[in-house]
A and B are shown apart, each in its own frame.
Chain A
Amino acid sequence: DTGVSQNPRHKITKRGQNVTFRCDPISEHNRLYWYRQTLGQGPEFLTYFQNEAQLEKSRLLSDRFSAERPKGSFSTLEIQRTEQGDSAMYLCASSLVGQGFHAGNTIYFGEGSWLTVV
């Protein structure tokens, strides 16, 4: 169990450019979540997957944001035409559900990917 891995850890980009973040969840975890966290705020839910199916998207996830989990393992979060307001830490998390009442209730977070849009 190597934990949730995210990369890159830091990304500085110019406004208008596209960026992509990758998340590798804990092996065999079937749920994968994306959150966004700005300074002084708690994490805000963006979207989540169960296996390869995207089950829910927050209204925070504008048309410029797209997330995929093509094979039910790693996931990517792409932001197109970045804006300064997109500057934040993007957190990925994973969990295991469906195999026992308690097994599915702990969500493990990665260390996050910092995005700075200049």
Chain B
Amino acid sequence: AQSVTQLDSQVPVFEEAPVELRCNYSSSVSVYLFWYVQYPNQGLQLLLKYLSGSTLVESINGFEAEFNKSQTSFHLRKPSVHISDTAEYFCAVSVGGNTPLVFGKGTRLSVIA
């Protein structure tokens, strides 16, 4: 069975600094990878996804993630964070793309002014 490990439960970072949220997955078959963001008392919103093709995927608000098959990783990065990026970020995997998502435990990103 597939699993997702988010190595950092909390990441504090100063505004305008870069950030990386780490995600590793375990699966012996092809997977599709996702990052979701959850703001306080809200549901999850899709941030970006990797299905196939270019291993670097980007979101509209400046986040990007790179699929690395050899390292089974899908780390999320942003070169300059804003206060509004403060939220919980979840990495998730789906085998074959049409199976239920399996989530990591999340990383709480706190942006400090």
Interface residues of chain A, those whose CB is within 8 Å of chain B, are 4, 33, 40-45, 48, 56, 91, 93, 97, 101-102, 104-112
Contacts and interface: CB of A to CB of B under 8 A. Distances in A.
A105 to B, nearest CB: 5
B51 A42 contact: no
B44 A43 contact: yes
Contacts of A48: 100
A111 B97 contact: no
Contacts of B43: 4, 91, 109-112
A26 to B, nearest CB: 13
Interface stretch (B64-72, B78-86, B102-110): B102-110
Given A43-B90, A48-B100, A104-B97, A109 B105 contact: no
Majority DSSP secondary structure for residues of A touching B:
loop
B34 to A, nearest CB: 8
A84 to B, nearest CB: 21
Nearest to A3: B43
Contacts of B6: 42
B102 A45 contact: yes
B57 interface: no
Nearest to A44: B103
Contacts of B92: 42
B94 interface: yes
A92 B111 CA distance: 29
A66 to B, nearest CB: 18
B46 A108 contact: yes
A6 to B, nearest CB: 8
B4 to A, nearest CB: 8
A40 B105 contact: yes
Contact of B44 (A45, A101, A109): A109
B87 interface: no
B51 A105 contact: yes
A45 B101 contact: yes
B28 interface: no
